[in-house]
Amino acid sequence: MGNRYFEVLERASSFLEKQGKEGYSILFVFLERKGWTKTDWLLHLKEEIAPEDERQINEDLKKLAENYPPQYLLGYSDFYDRRFLVNQHTLIPRPETEELVEQCLKENPNEQLTVVDVGTGTGVIGISLKLARSNWQVTAIDISKEALEVAEKNAQRLEAEVQFINGDGLKPMKDTKIDILISNPPYISNTEWALMDESVRTFEPKTALFAESDGLAIYQQLAKEAKKILKPDGKIYLEIGFQQGLAVKQLFQQTFPQKQVHIAQDLSGNDRMIIVSSKKEEG
Query: Which of 175, 215, 160 is CA-nearest to residue 191?
Result: 215
Is 283 annotated as a binding-site member?
no
269 is in an annotated binding site: no
- Tell me if 20 is assigned to a ligand binding site: no
Letter string b/e over residues 190-211, b meaning 16 or more CB atoms within 10 A of that residue's CB: eebeeeeeebbbebbbeebbbb
Residue 121 marked as a ligand binder: yes
Q: Within the chain, how many helices (H) and strands (E) appear? A: 13, 9
Please check whether residue 215 is in contact with residue 244, taking contact to mean a CB–CB distance below 8 angstroms.
yes
CA–CA distance, 248 with 40 (Å, rounded to integer): 48
The span from the CA of 236 to the CA of 101, in Å, is: 12
Burial of residue 185, with CB atoms counted within 10 A of its CB: 0-12 exposed, 13-18 middle, 19 or more buried: buried
Separation CA 77–CA 147 (nearest Å): 15
Has 72 been labeled as part of a binding site? no
239, 97 in Cβ contact below 8 A?
Answer: yes
Q: How many residues does the chain have?
A: 283
Neighbours of 35 (CB within 10 A): 7
Q: By three-state DSSP, how is residue 111 classified? A: coil
Instruction: State yes or no: 186 annotated in a binding site.
Output: yes
The annotated binding site for substrate is made up of: 184-187
Which residues are annotated as part of the binding site?
119-123, 142, 184-187
Residues contributing to the annotated binding site for S-adenosyl-L-methionine: 119-123, 142, 184
